[in-house]
Chains A and B, each alone.
Chain A
């Protein structure tokens, strides 16, 4: 709810003109009333209407400035006749009226050109820019007409008392934690300009190969095409640009030229997605970056956690090489401790902690003693599998013994493995176990099939089933049975969903007498992970969240200690790659300014980004016009279970060019422009 003077946002009709301040009707939307801690907003204008927050707003100037912003945002215009010329005419005519030189016929021309733009523009930005302008011209006609009939400028035309801050967005861009310019990279595919496509991706997301494969794509949930038929296969289209660069052996297509060194140094702790992203954008801004990585290999959890069949390491290495190409210095086999952190604070201008969450949480059952052989944390299990599969780094003898392995790699021949989980990590565990030739692989999950699909993806779950993983839903481990500290079996409880008689959420309740014993050799807890923050010096007293991660304000990613920043899972808790990328990208932007000025600042673009996310750009109730429904979403070919289950070949082939182009054609280029006056 927002207190407004006037609003047509999302079709609401709130008009408090002439009403006493305390009698104002409120808007139902989260409008950006406060631009930032220093400034109140005067008005918000965007693709779906306009809201005025006080009576003194010069609406004619506001309309003119909005049209002007549409001109300025060149990346989103200039590509269709109605948008290009129409946009210019809108601005010229509005400015003519605003400066007191307009004619009545200009109002008619504005309406006429608006209609053509709404009907025929290439993308939503051209189609929607006229919307709030027409709203203003309709509801405040007298103010426009006053400028025309009296031939005098609008009330604030010659005053520089207002800032007009605009931002281009799109439902998918808004939903993406990294705010990737998705319509641009899809347009690159549609236009067969794959270099442009990749550069569009890399503006905010350096890991194009990776996020073209293993991103849970929240953007697709907020794809506007869903309102028409099915969402665009956004994630996979990212691969086209990345493959073009790799297949043809080009140098790296960076989104902009690397700035010359500004003589500032930053340490990044951790070479996972957050660390790589932070390093990439800092380096692009001319900051010298050292990345410290505990493991012998780069890439963090995506390298040692995500299996080869989902994320081939040679592709991920391409993404990593793109970071190295900017001069980033990587230091592997270097676990940072508190002493080093104290030193870093002196040696570097800022530090970014991006150490992820690498401690597997317990399943909380009876007799859950880590020393029992066969009890093996998911993160460590995946480390051992992936280091061997991807890098030929064999399991050390001590670990081999500890985990009862007959060889120096993870061979589960004849063994039964039970995993407790339900998220991506647990899926990786069970599918790796299949590939390690386990006799039987079981996944225990507390909730149902629909939830596991929601938490992972439809494909991931079905592929695991096809490969022979046995899923037992509504189940949990009650007890581990061992003989001389060797795991022998599990007692598994069964649960059922009992509807709440008061109409609340159904509750999981244990079914008495349904528990059973299950023989097994390994129990892999993959319920969640926590952060290892021993590297943070205690005397720094860095604030933590209630989940024992590092606390920031989620906007600038500085911790409670000046100059120490945190991004990715160690800040947020175990989350997605793209979330880590988005946080680290923002942190890098803040840090690049901080190392020069010592100030923590956000760009207008970033402030607007946060406002729009709060407002939410996607409107699932919107009815789509101008696009033909019923064009099916493309699905790329997948290896058959027999082709894939005993090896690490990539499961998905990726789109053929034909599929990719057909898919790209479906994108509706839902760019919007929003503007705040403050």
Chain B
């Protein structure tokens, strides 16, 4: 703690905090143009200069920590003069096109120009012609760019793409793609978000609306389990169509980060009229159903309604994805004594040691990746990535890649647990379990050498804040329960906290709310966003259309165990699940009446929907919904002997969506790229006897698929990637992600 003063007022700074941070916390305003809370200071604008009683010249408050007893002055005539001159410099030759600029009305340059009263161009310099760059979903206008470097900093420090850089050249400086002619990145669009002016804009949004015409709808992203906060910005569709549509998504970029699916994949809403006849059919179908099969793209409140159906009508509930998660966590809790795992995105971000096992993090859950990038950059975290497939997008984050054979997760995680629990205070029975592990066999079959575990122990040895991230590969593994118990041991008996990456937006919520039954097929199944004899929902060619998740209010449970509210961006004129429930005898005016009834026994706190906040405070305080209580449960689980490790020889396919694609919603948005090929390495192609561009047929997860094969130079080995987002009711997250397949070549398109 450092005591100092600002304008004579006492202020306290924590160790590591800068003058600017301490000032903001204490409610003082220091102007900035380039400062971004979540990255290291860019220090380019120089507006935040202050005076102190220990220096003659002005010092930069964004990068200087205060010293004990320092007297800081943040306003004075001298400072005002220099800050005004900086704004005058910023305004030199800035194009006078505010009338059409996307940023107008929400532009930092406009705001500060007005704040400092710069009403005319005071200095002059020769103007230069600068061409606009078109980078796919992003346009860049160097003439508007003020070179604050925020975009470059987020891209490198938070996202990890490291795809843009500054071309230094004084007055001609510009932002350019790094090591590439055109922008080659994952198109998260965070550079657009942080741009304080209209230099980086969404090419789709550009020139379609002014900032002040749009209404902001705070919501939660529905594409993965991260539960990101986002704002749908809506206005009427056109002069002839008064219905709102979503024009863009924005985010509170100071404090959170959004991926490209969240930012650009927003137009998945659909519309419907009220068709009474169909409604009646639907009511009857449910009343007579044996089971309802549903996806995890569902709110807690809807899940609650389904649970009521089960109780009231005695029907079964099928959701294999959530059921797998449920049984994984039940086994986990039987060792840890807690219903949920203990880690969070924030824990990952704070880590200086991270181990990831069993998932393709960059595409499964980009926000987990961003947290890892942030930890790698800001904390110098050692990151161990264990998976059968190397991920080139993670190269600048991962410090040790450990490749294991497909299917050997149980053995690998047992060895990992044995490594990490070496010095842990565990009982004799557990100690014996690890002593009895046949390490030679496990290492040989998983193809992970002993030295890899020694290296893990060494790199984690010096780490102080450690996280183990468990990917979704293991949720549907045959030995999931034992894997869960091993992971729980690591969390319980070491300093590691654990995060289990649930596959869908509300896998966790469903697993807590619904009593799920094993899906054995059978007749009389109603499908809600899933296959069935009678189908309803917002995905696929359904009989009764129900609102998409951006047309619903309700809550989800995120990977942080946070209950997060979402709101209606686009009104839906058809029926809702609650209407069906009421017709079947339940009584609730609105779906969100169920929010307060979410099960307290599972950690929900009984809050009603309207009491839930959905915003970040000015200092980044997360005031969105609430965190579930992590309920104590009975301990009783014990480790089972490791089963013989399976072998997956020949051509193996891994279910893995391309960047920014997650589900049937993202599949039908207009901006996101829809790569749907089977992609594999040259080695895979040779093994499968196919070449680039071949049309092939595979049977994957029990279904026949036809796809084009694409050679991907970033891949190695004999495992190819097959997407699942584009198959409406496919076996999305219900089966083990790897499968040995037979490839049938059907011809070549090219």
A81 B89 Cβ-Cβ under 8 A: yes
Tell me how many residues of A have a C-beta within 8 Å of chain B: 54
B27 on the interface (CB 8 Å rule)?
A: no
Chain B min CB distance to A331 (Å): 32
Report which of B56, B67, B170 forms a contact with A625, defined as CB distance below 8 A. Answer: B56
Report which of B16, B86, B165 forms a contact with A81, defined as CB distance below 8 A. Answer: B86
**B396 neighbours in A (Cβ, 8 Å):** 244, 248, 250
Assuming the A-B contacts A84-B173, A192-B156, are A89 and B86 also in contact, with contact meaning beta carbons closer than 8 angstroms in the complex?
no
Interface residues in B199-254 (C-beta closer than 8 Å to A): none
Report which of B59, B63, B157, B395 forms a contact with A626, defined as CB distance below 8 A. Answer: B59
**B397 neighbours in A (Cβ, 8 Å):** 248
Chain A min CB distance to B253 (Å): 18
Interface residues in B369-410 (C-beta closer than 8 Å to A): 377-380, 382, 395-399, 401
Assuming the A-B contacts A192-B40, A631-B65, are A113 and B123 also in contact, with contact meaning beta carbons closer than 8 angstroms in the complex?
yes
Report which of A244, A626, A630 forms a contact with B57, defined as CB distance below 8 A. Answer: A626
- Measured CB to CB, the nearest residue on chain B to A71 is B170
B378 A192 Cβ-Cβ under 8 A: yes
Interface residues in A619-667 (C-beta closer than 8 Å to B): 623, 625-631, 653, 656-658, 660-662, 665
Chain A min CB distance to B283 (Å): 58
B90 A81 Cβ-Cβ under 8 A: yes
- Measured CB to CB, the nearest residue on chain B to A88 is B171
- A553–B165 Cα distance when bound, in Å, is 42
Interface residues in A154-191 (C-beta closer than 8 Å to B): 190-191
B170 A74 Cβ-Cβ under 8 A: yes
A75 on the interface (CB 8 Å rule)?
A: yes
A92 B82 Cβ-Cβ under 8 A: no
Report which of B82, B156, B401 forms a contact with A116, defined as CB distance below 8 A. Answer: B82
Chain B min CB distance to A123 (Å): 10
B636 on the interface (CB 8 Å rule)?
A: no
Assuming the A-B contacts A77-B170, A81-B89, A122-B44, are A92 and B67 also in contact, with contact meaning beta carbons closer than 8 angstroms in the complex?
no
A128 on the interface (CB 8 Å rule)?
A: no
Assuming the A-B contacts A75-B168, A80-B45, are A247 and B399 also in contact, with contact meaning beta carbons closer than 8 angstroms in the complex?
yes
Assuming the A-B contacts A89-B125, A660-B380, are A121 and B55 also in contact, with contact meaning beta carbons closer than 8 angstroms in the complex?
no
Chain B min CB distance to A108 (Å): 11
A190 B40 Cβ-Cβ under 8 A: yes
A71 B63 Cβ-Cβ under 8 A: no
A462 on the interface (CB 8 Å rule)?
A: no
- A190–B156 Cα distance when bound, in Å, is 13
- A72–B57 Cα distance when bound, in Å, is 27
**A657 neighbours in B (Cβ, 8 Å):** 352, 377-380
B95 on the interface (CB 8 Å rule)?
A: no
**B401 neighbours in A (Cβ, 8 Å):** 249
**A555 neighbours in B (Cβ, 8 Å):** none
Chain A min CB distance to B55 (Å): 6
Chain A min CB distance to B173 (Å): 4
B70 A628 Cβ-Cβ under 8 A: yes
Report which of A82, A109, A190 forms a contact with B86, defined as CB distance below 8 A. Answer: A82
- A109–B85 Cα distance when bound, in Å, is 11
B380 A628 Cβ-Cβ under 8 A: no
**B52 neighbours in A (Cβ, 8 Å):** 628
B156 A193 Cβ-Cβ under 8 A: yes
Assuming the A-B contacts A89-B123, A92-B125, A120-B58, are A82 and B46 also in contact, with contact meaning beta carbons closer than 8 angstroms in the complex?
yes
Interface residues in B542-596 (C-beta closer than 8 Å to A): none
- A23–B732 Cα distance when bound, in Å, is 93
Report which of A74, A192, A656 forms a contact with B168, defined as CB distance below 8 A. Answer: A74
Interface residues in B40-71 (C-beta closer than 8 Å to A): 40, 43-47, 49, 52, 54-59, 63-67, 70
The stretch among B146-154, B271-279, B740-748 that forms the contact with chain A is: B146-154
Chain B min CB distance to A212 (Å): 15
A248 B395 Cβ-Cβ under 8 A: yes
Mark A243-274 against chain B: 1 for CB-CB distance below 8 A, else 0.
01001111000000000000000000000000
A84 B147 Cβ-Cβ under 8 A: yes
B92 on the interface (CB 8 Å rule)?
A: yes
A88 B125 Cβ-Cβ under 8 A: yes
Interface residues in B63-81 (C-beta closer than 8 Å to A): 63-67, 70
Assuming the A-B contacts A82-B89, A627-B55, A628-B70, are A192 and B377 also in contact, with contact meaning beta carbons closer than 8 angstroms in the complex?
yes
B166 on the interface (CB 8 Å rule)?
A: yes
B169 on the interface (CB 8 Å rule)?
A: yes
- A652–B85 Cα distance when bound, in Å, is 47
Chain A min CB distance to B680 (Å): 22
Best-buried of A71, A72, A82, A190 by chain B (most CB within 10 Å)? A82
- A205–B40 Cα distance when bound, in Å, is 27
**B59 neighbours in A (Cβ, 8 Å):** 626-628
Assuming the A-B contacts A192-B156, A248-B395, A248-B396, are A79 and B40 also in contact, with contact meaning beta carbons closer than 8 angstroms in the complex?
no
Chain A min CB distance to B716 (Å): 14
- Measured CB to CB, the nearest residue on chain A to B462 is A653
Interface residues in B87-111 (C-beta closer than 8 Å to A): 89-90, 92
**A116 neighbours in B (Cβ, 8 Å):** 82, 85-86, 89
**B40 neighbours in A (Cβ, 8 Å):** 190-192, 661
Chain B min CB distance to A199 (Å): 12
Chain B min CB distance to A466 (Å): 21
Assuming the A-B contacts A85-B90, A120-B46, are A78 and B55 also in contact, with contact meaning beta carbons closer than 8 angstroms in the complex?
no
Best-buried of A87, A191, A244 by chain B (most CB within 10 Å)? A191
Assuming the A-B contacts A88-B171, A92-B125, are A80 and B44 also in contact, with contact meaning beta carbons closer than 8 angstroms in the complex?
yes
Assuming the A-B contacts A192-B378, A627-B55, are A92 and B44 also in contact, with contact meaning beta carbons closer than 8 angstroms in the complex?
no
B46 A122 Cβ-Cβ under 8 A: yes
A113 B379 Cβ-Cβ under 8 A: no
A582 on the interface (CB 8 Å rule)?
A: no
A89 B124 Cβ-Cβ under 8 A: yes
Chain B min CB distance to A119 (Å): 5
Interface residues in A91-137 (C-beta closer than 8 Å to B): 92-93, 109, 112-113, 115-116, 119-122
A299 on the interface (CB 8 Å rule)?
A: no
Assuming the A-B contacts A86-B89, A629-B54, are A78 and B395 also in contact, with contact meaning beta carbons closer than 8 angstroms in the complex?
no
Chain A min CB distance to B393 (Å): 12
Interface residues in A44-102 (C-beta closer than 8 Å to B): 70-72, 74-75, 77-89, 92-93
Assuming the A-B contacts A80-B43, A81-B86, A122-B44, are A625 and B123 also in contact, with contact meaning beta carbons closer than 8 angstroms in the complex?
no
**A77 neighbours in B (Cβ, 8 Å):** 168, 170
- Measured CB to CB, the nearest residue on chain B to A656 is B380
- Measured CB to CB, the nearest residue on chain A to B378 is A657
**B395 neighbours in A (Cβ, 8 Å):** 248-250
Report which of A81, A83, A120, A627 forms a contact with B146, defined as CB distance below 8 A. Answer: A81
- A193–B396 Cα distance when bound, in Å, is 11
B63 A78 Cβ-Cβ under 8 A: no
- A445–B64 Cα distance when bound, in Å, is 44
If A79-B149, A191-B156, A630-B54 are given as contacts, then 19 extra A-B residue pairs at C-beta distance below 8 Å, sorted by A number, are A70-B170, A74-B169, A78-B166, A78-B168, A88-B170, A115-B85, A120-B46, A193-B165, A247-B382, A625-B55, A625-B57, A626-B58, A627-B57, A627-B64, A628-B59, A653-B462, A657-B377, A658-B16, A661-B40
3 closest Cβ pairs, A-B complex: A657-B380, A626-B57, A625-B57
Would you list 18 pairs from A and B whose C-beta atoms are within 8 A, ordered by A residue?
A: A78-B172, A81-B146, A85-B90, A88-B92, A89-B92, A89-B124, A116-B82, A120-B58, A120-B82, A120-B86, A192-B157, A244-B396, A625-B55, A627-B57, A628-B59, A630-B54, A656-B352, A657-B377
Please list the residues of chain A having a beta carbon within 8 angstroms of any beta carbon in chain B.
70-72, 74-75, 77-89, 92-93, 109, 112-113, 115-116, 119-122, 190-193, 244, 247-250, 623, 625-631, 653, 656-658, 660-662, 665
